[in-house]
Amino acid sequence: MRIGRVLISAEQIQARLAEMGAQITADYRGKDLLLVAVLKGAFMVMADLSRHIALPVDLDFMAVSSYGEATRTSGVVRILKDLDREISGRHVLIVEDIVDSGLTLQYLRRNLEVRRPASLEIATLLSKSGLQVVPVSVRYMGFEIPPDFVIGYGLDYLGQYRNLPYVAVMEEGEEPAEGTPSGA
Ligand code: 5GP
């Protein structure tokens, strides 16, 4: 597998996150806002989106793993790391990298709802069009993308590529060796 076409550039991501941050700032002014990111994928969105929110926010992290193949979600989610503190009575905004089938977020939403937050909303950088197995109501969405497997900006393929500052499509084939003439 190799890095394919760039779907969303670093500049596009930052511009959209600035807009989302401004909207979140307006919506949560005067409220006790807790951002909850889902590791590992959402670490970059959390870092950049939170810097566009001009409010005194609190941050927490959960780590989940879904059983299944490398490129598909099974819907069975295991919590590897839970939140550090209670969320009852607080305004919680889940920060996600991507919504695909929606199964992970449906599980998380249910898991957090029973802890009685004052409100519970979702912000995601990416959402795949037409693929949601379960409908997830997303309050803040960055980009709707085609149903391809993507990497970069927190998203991995077998643990790699999370550090790319842009989002690209993963393609079949080998990474071209440097200096190899095309067609050789
Ligand atoms: P869902 O439960 O909505 O099907 O999938 C959510 C999780 O699956 C995401 O948080 C992400 O970890 C992973 N995922 C879904 N689509 C992609 C993709 O295109 N690329 C990568 N790297 N991970 C994905």
Query: Tens of pLDDT along 35-82?
Result: 999 999 999 999 999 999 999 999 999 998 876 555 555 666 889 999
For ligand 1, is residue 167 a contact (CB within 6 Å)?
no
Distance 164 CA to ligand 1 centre (A): 16
For ligand 1, is residue 98 a contact (CB within 6 Å)?
yes
Q: Whose CA is nearest to atom 11 of ligand 1?
A: 98
Pocket test for ligand 1, best of 43, 71, 98, 122 (most atoms within 8 A of CB): 98
> What pLDDT shows up at residue 89?
97
Residue 100 annotated among the catalytic residues of the structure: yes
Q: Which of 82, 97, 100, 148 is catalytic?
A: 100
Query: Is 10-146 CATH 3.40.50.2020?
Result: yes
Q: Decide which of 178 and 151 is more confident.
A: 151
> What pLDDT shows up at residue 65?
80
Distance 10 CA to ligand 1 centre (A): 19
pLDDT in tens, 77-99: 889 999 999 999 999 999 999 99
Q: pTM (2 decimals)?
A: 0.90
Alpha-carbon distance of 134 to 139, in angstroms, equals 16
Q: Is the pLDDT of residue 138 over 60?
A: yes
> What pLDDT shows up at residue 182?
38
Distance 103 CA to ligand 1 centre (A): 10
The full DSSP string for 89-145 is TSEEEEEEEEESSSHHHHHHHHHHHTT--SEEEEEEEEEETT--SS----SEEEEEE
The residue extents of the domains of the chain are 10-146
Stretch 105-118: mean pLDDT, rounded?
Answer: 94
DSSP for residue 45: H
The full DSSP string for 132-158 is -SS----SEEEEEE-SS-EEBTTB-BT
Q: CA triplet 107, 108, 109: central angle to 5 degrees?
A: 95
Q: Which residue from 69, 136, 62 is spatially nearest to 101, judged by alpha carbons?
A: 136
